[in-house]
Structure 1
Amino acid sequence: MSAAQGHRDEQQRAARITAIAGTLVILAYAATSLLEIFVLGPLEGVPGRSLAQIHGDLAAAGEAPMMTLPAIVMLTVGGLAAVAVMSVTFVHRRMTWLSVALTHLGLLVLGAPALAMASFGPGMALADTYGSSGAEFHTVLTDLLHGVSGAALLAFLVLCAILTLDALRSSSPAPGSPPRRALLR
């Protein structure tokens, strides 16, 4: 095997590992969001009631069907996008770990607004049923998920800055000097 082929295989292996890890993180984020919206949030907001009692109260108030489908669809989209990126990574050998990482980080950043949109309907259903503001239907897990999205945004911006610096360094070497080594490859 040539050195170039070995390098390509190493790049492909890194891209695949990044795709698998990123997809697992995004699926965990989506599952945790659904757990927060449909189980932990309602239990936190309505102390002393079981989940079955809460769902019964929602159904009696005519709120139950409206509460589930949009939230599930919104949070499923991110998981499907992550699986699509992973599939493309396994099919196309030109995907780099960096492009896969940036895509997954972008999806994690979008997790915070997706969580807010997905939890709005169920939160309103609970607030209408129990005559509350809806703010009490969130646990510390919501803050943790927002923190993950914030950390993903920071990592995304750092990688973009490194790529920009890398492009600037490699595009303008001094005359007669060897090309500079890339920071990320």
Structure 2
Amino acid sequence: MTYLKAGSATLLVFSLFFSLKLQAMTDDKPYSLGIGSYALTISADDSGYEDDDFSGLLLNATYAFNDNVGARFNYYTLEHDDWSDLENDGFDILGYYGTGLLSEGFKAYIGGGVYRETWEVSGTDFDESFSGFQLNGGIGYHWPAVTIDLTLALRSTGDYEDFAEIDTSAIASALSIGFRF
């Protein structure tokens, strides 16, 4: 009789552990940490000027409040494509509204936020900061432990225009892969 009680208790503990483990494996994972590439193009509206193109490394952290609302922090470090001494370090803070932000499968979202960056020229004292608002959108896909995102941002250009004294437009894009938890 004692053997049956011990066996039943073991079976009960095993069943409870297995169901908790199974539930943990299927729970939504609201956090992700990612790495990827980031590109920024600042175009002069006057055809006499060339575009300023930057590209480089992106690190990001994302939190999905639910399947429709999320937030992301991007940190990027870029280099000018034509003049490698010009470096650009900055960050974006973004809010998103969309579908599939928490669950596995396809996701699409729109939103906005702010950016702040600093341009520096290696070996000089040159240091110029830019900031503003941006509108964002993106698509991606969630697997159980991995996420991938492709985003596009249209930036406000007031600081760029004050610096260059010409009308500009600015577009940023990012491709990242991340670990979900």
* TM-score between both structures, scaled by the size of structure 1: 0.31
More strand by share: 2
Higher fraction of helix: 1
TM superposition score normalised by structure 2: 0.31
Task: Select the structure with the greater relative contact order (CA < 8 A; seq sep ≥ 6).
Answer: 1
